[in-house]
Amino acid sequence: MLLWNWCCSRRRLWGKIGFDGYTRMNTTVQLYKLKTTPPTGRRLYTYMAAILEVTGMDNGKTFPIKKFLGNIKTHIDEARIISVEGGYQLTPKGRDFFADRYSLTSPQNIDRAEVEAMIRGITSGNGLGVWEPIK
C-alpha cells in the first residue's frame, strides 16, 4: 500500500516531459546531469534508474536520453531502448530489465533511497558529484 501511495503521489507531481526540462505542476524546471557519468557499477545503475524515472521513460514516455548519457549502445543492441520520433523509449524488455534492478536478488541491485537522492541531483543540480544543466 505504501508503494501504491508513493506511485500515485508521484503521478500527481511529475508531469509531461519536455526537451528542456520537465513540467511539474505546470512549471518547467531545469534538469541536470552528472558532469562525468559513472563508468560502471551501482552508481551508474542508480543514475540510470533516476533518469528513467524523472524523464518518465519508465512509464513509456519518450525522451532524448542522450542528453544525460552519451553511450546507450548496449541497451539499443539488446533491444531495451529504441529510437523513436522525439528521442528514445524503453521497450517492454527494457522496462523489465531496469525494474528488475530493484529486486534484492538482482546482481545489479539498487537502493530506493539512493535513487531518490540521485533524482534530487537531477532535478536540483545539488548532490554527490558535479552537476551541470542539460541543454
Asked if residue 35 lies in contact with residue 130, where contact means CB atoms within 8 angstroms, the answer is: yes
Judged on CB neighbours under 10 Å (0-12, 13-18, 19+), 32 is buried
Task: Write down the residue that cell numbers 534538469 correspond to.
Answer: 31
For 54-100, what is each residue's pLDDT tens digit? 999 999 999 999 999 989 999 999 999 999 999 999 999 999 999 99
Task: Write down the residue that cell numbers 548519457 correspond to.
Answer: 69
Rounded to whole angstroms, the Cα distance separating 129 from 125 reads 9
Rounded to whole angstroms, the Cα distance separating 132 from 24 reads 20
Residue-range domain boundaries for the chain? 32-133
Task: Write down the residue that cell numbers 521497450 correspond to.
Answer: 91
For 22-61, what is each residue's pLDDT tens digit? 444 345 779 999 999 888 899 999 999 999 999 999 999 9
Q: How far is CA 111 from CA 19, 61, 73, 78, in A?
A: 28, 23, 25, 24
